[in-house]
Amino acid sequence: MAGLSTSLKLIWLVSGILQFVILVLVVVHRNYRALPTFAWYIGLNLAQALVMLVVYSHFGFSSVPSFRTYWAGEVVIMLLQTLASTEALHRALQDYPGIWELTWRVILLAILAVTVHAWRAANRNDEWGLLTAHRGYYITFAVAFVLCLLLIRRYSVSIDPVYKMLIGGFCFYSCGSIFADTLVKLQYLQRFPRYVEVWNYSELWVFLVALVIWIIALRRPVRVRPRTPSVASETNYEVVGTQVNAHLRAMNDSLRKFFDKQGAEP
């Protein structure tokens, strides 16, 4: 693959092996029953890597066909990642339907905004516009994952540790991708000659860490919970829901006082 360093090829190979390990764990432990979209996400991610291997070998790493093929495949992978990460959030919050209803609406609104921006950037053939949309996508999910993890910790929400680690992996991947996208633009503006290679290193290392987290999480089978919540789950939701509503009311009152004060000033 012309244009790729040996170390970058090695990291890419390791990521492919780790993805294959995840697929084996998913099949062996039958985790595809609880996380079908996640299984498809890993499988197609691995397939994209194989496709790009052929494209890079034929056209070269920095060619226009390679660029277009990568971003076309990346759109599909990002859509699957959206579904897979949302699936993990849903599984984690399935005993708290009110909180989940708020979470998925916020995510959907942000995704629509980022999608419109990416479409406009693609029509303008704006490379930095695509990168900005790419970063905006991960900002959306980084915020959602961080808020979810804080909610779980703050209110001692009882969820399966597997889902908690899956969400943690997606959260790390989103935050790392934000860092990589920001770094590559800063390096380009400072005329750093190897900014593309640094971006690839950053993205791959972040993905490797996320893969390791997911492997640790999937070493054991995921419990498939019944669709009908138990009495204990309903009790937990009532307690957490009451606490969240109380904090939201307090925040609302503070904001109203702040804006009333601002409006009263000459």
Please tell me the pTM assigned to this model: 0.76
Burial label for 175, CB within 10 Å (0-12, 13-18, 19+), is middle
Measured CA to CA in angstroms, residue 156 lies from 65, 68, 90, 96 at distances of 50, 45, 17, 13
DSSP 32: G
Which pLDDT does position 23 carry in this prediction?
A: 94
Helices 161-189 and 64-92: crossing angle, nearest 10°? 150
pLDDT digit string, tens, across residues 178-231: 888 888 767 666 666 676 777 788 888 999 999 999 999 998 888 766 555 544
Q: What is the dihedral of CA 64, 54, 11, 118, to 10 degrees?
A: 40
Q: How many CB atoms lie within 10 A of CB 66?
A: 18
pLDDT digit string, tens, across residues 18-59: 999 999 999 998 888 889 999 999 999 999 988 988 888 888
pLDDT digit string, tens, across residues 165-180: 998 899 899 899 888 8
Percent of the residues in the chain that have a pLDDT greater than 70, as a whole number: 68
